[in-house]
């Protein structure tokens, strides 16, 4: 490429949203599209082996490996903030759990944020268009989309115990948490297909790269978006020591995620004027909401030793790992084809919430990271997320250099309500783990060591579940950064399409909603007639 290169659209970031946009914008059109990714191609085989990702998850070659600023509510600890830096973005290094969030989350967007076209009825057809579910097509599921979605299949008696404990505890069970009953304990879905990870790159981008109108640059850092007279005209990028400017005829789409996107907007002069001035950046659009409204799912764990050798601790044996890997290479099945977190649930920690406010992820092994090395033990582990926290954080510039990590602080537990919900979450976890179904397996508790001060335990150990969002929120108030089509206020031909546009966090993992957002905005970009809203019935706890 030369300095004079031009494209109709330039997409910044080959993550969950960017890959969807690239696919849709270049399908059956003459639009020329360039995708720019800071990381490498997704050629590391361990990315594509579902269980293999835990060996490479923290590899700095594919993970930005950010850290938050010190979090006062978490004993002034810095909390890990991993973000994908590879083709597919975080969808290439995540745990592959496919969850859409609760239907009422999107109805809340419509009602509280005046985003009428983002109700669940309007979003559901885009979830369905995006996926091919091995459950088949029905009112809730799609069977003709690029994204492979598979129900968990790993056979383990601890999974059976988990389902039985859901019944015994009264926390309930569900056949499909993305279907009619989005409540209870259930087998989870994963973004896998035929035993392989189905990242956004595998699903959407790689198959489209054969098109002559789609272009890709990897290992390329976007330094800023060029803006002239209030119009985004292109980007300034660097690779090694070479810097060049690439022009966009129709627009620039920022899909760098909830941490990088606000950083890049601010580096380009779009953000809070006082903060930009402090870094000697000229203000193009004074948008105080850029970098505000940062949200995440804070997570705590409980873990037990297992009295029977049914856990996956044997994977630490080198010979057994070779056997598992060989089986996967030959048959694409077995433990290597599992994301391990195959069981989970959505439950309510108190009677006041209109729908589940806690999410479980359950693994039939206890694991600990020591740096980049993972250790496995004969035990089992239950993680719980607080799904709709009230605490809000910020993303800010560390410097005016795009190569420097941005500063992020979630202000975890700054709202007392969040501690209340996590303490309720611990009670729910313990109740589930102490049901008769686990009696034959339950050994000594590993985490926490006792029940003396659960609040102290939460502050000392709570961590991210890797779901940052909200930092360029969609809406119509003075703190909004983009409108209902992702268009940045005050700058023409500039859009944001990623998890940062979520006005508030949804009650589940964010990969599926992020792809849905990109599917929906792609239609808007192309001027397509939006898919007709769908209104199937749901079982909600507040209308039982």
Phi and psi angles of residue 178, each rounded to the nearest 5 degrees, phi first: -100, 10
Q: Return the CA Rg of the chain.
A: 22
Please, how many CA atoms are within 13 Å of residue 168, restricted to the half-sphere of its CB? 15
CB 91 within 8 A of CB 16: yes
| Number of residues that this document lists for the chain | 544
| Active-site hit among 102, 370, 467, 539 | 467
CA dist list (Å): 9 to 33, 35, 426: 5, 9, 47
**Is residue 215 annotated as a catalytic residue, yes or no?**
no
Residue 305: Cβ-neighbour burial (10 angstroms; 0-12, 13-18, 19+): middle
Instruction: Measure the CA–CA gap between 398 and 345, rounded to whole angstroms.
Output: 38
d(CA 86, CA 90): 8
Query: Is 169:192 a contact under the CB 8 Å cutoff?
Result: no
Q: What is the full DSSP assignment across 319-373? A: HHHHHHHHHHHHHS-SGGG--S--EEEEE-SSTTSSS--EEEEEESSEEEEETTE
User: In angstroms, what CA-CA distances link 105 with 24, 140, 182, 224, 390?
Assistant: 26, 16, 12, 33, 14
Residues carrying an active site annotation: 467
């Amino acid at each position: 490429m030369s300095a004079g290169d031009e494209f109709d659209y330039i997409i910044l970031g080959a993550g969950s949203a960017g890959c969807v946009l690239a696919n849709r914008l270049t399908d059956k059109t003459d639009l020329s599209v360039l995708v720019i990714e800071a990381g490498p191609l997704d050629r590391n085989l361990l990315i594509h082996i579902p269980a293999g990702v835990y060996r490479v998850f923290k590899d700095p070659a594919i993970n930005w490996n950010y850290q938050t600023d010190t979090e006062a509510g978490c004993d002034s600890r810095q909390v890990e903030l991993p973000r994908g830096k590879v083709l597919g973005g975080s969808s290439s290094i995540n745990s592959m759990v496919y969850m859409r969030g609760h239907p009422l989350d999107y109805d809340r967007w419509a009602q509280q944020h005046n985003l009428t076209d983002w109700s669940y009825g309007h979003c559901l057809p885009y979830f369905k268009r995006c996926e091919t579910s091995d459950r088949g097509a029905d009112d809730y599921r799609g069977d003709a989309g690029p994204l492979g979605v598979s129900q968990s299949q790993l056979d383990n008696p601890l999974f059976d115990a988990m389902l039985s404990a859901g019944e015994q505890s009264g926390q309930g069970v569900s056949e499909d948490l993305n279907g009619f009953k989005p409540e209870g304990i259930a087998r989870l879905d994963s973004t896998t297909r035929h035993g392989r990870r189905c990242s956004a790159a595998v699903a959407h981008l790689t198959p489209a790269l054969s098109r002559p109108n789609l272009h890709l640059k990897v290992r390329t850092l976007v330094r800023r978006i060029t803006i002239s007279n209030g119009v985004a005209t292109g980007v300034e990028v660097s690779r090694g020591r070479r810097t060049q400017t690439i022009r966009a005829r129709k627009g620039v789409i920022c899909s760098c995620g909830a941490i990088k996107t606000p950083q890049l907007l601010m580096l380009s002069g779009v953000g809070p004027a006082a903060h930009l001035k402090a870094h000697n950046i000229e203000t193009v659009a004074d948008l105080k909401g850029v970098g505000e409204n940062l949200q995440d799912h804070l997570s705590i764990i409980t873990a037990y030793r297992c009295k029977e050798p049914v856990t996956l601790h044997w994977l630490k044996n080198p010979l057994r790992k070779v056997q598992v890997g060989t089986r996967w290479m030959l048959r694409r099945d077995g433990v290597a084809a599992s994301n391990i977190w195959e069981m989970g649930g959505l439950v309510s920690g108190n009677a006041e919430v209109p729908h589940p406010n806690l999410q479980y992820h359950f693994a039939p092994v206890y694991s600990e990271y020591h740096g980049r090395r993972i250790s496995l033990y004969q035990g089992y582990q239950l993680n719980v997320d607080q799904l709709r926290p009230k605490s809000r954080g910020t993303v800010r510039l560390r410097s005016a250099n795009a190569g420097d990590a941005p500063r992020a602080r979630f202000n975890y537990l700054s709202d007392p309500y969040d501690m209340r919900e996590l303490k309720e979450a611990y009670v729910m976890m313990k109740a589930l783990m102490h049901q008769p179904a686990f009696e034959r397996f339950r050994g000594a508790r590993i985490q926490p060591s006792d029940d003396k001060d659960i609040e102290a335990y939460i502050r000392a150990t709570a961590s991210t579940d890797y779901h940052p969002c909200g930092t360029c929120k969609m809406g119509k108030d003075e703190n909004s950064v983009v409108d209902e089509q992702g268009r940045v206020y005050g700058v023409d031909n500039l859009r944001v399409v990623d998890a940062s546009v979520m006005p508030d966090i949804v009650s589940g993992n964010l990969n599926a909603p992020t792809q849905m957002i990109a599917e929906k905005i792609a239609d808007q970009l192309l001027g397509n007639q939006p898919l007709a809203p769908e209104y199937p019935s749901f079982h909600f706890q507040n209308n039982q």
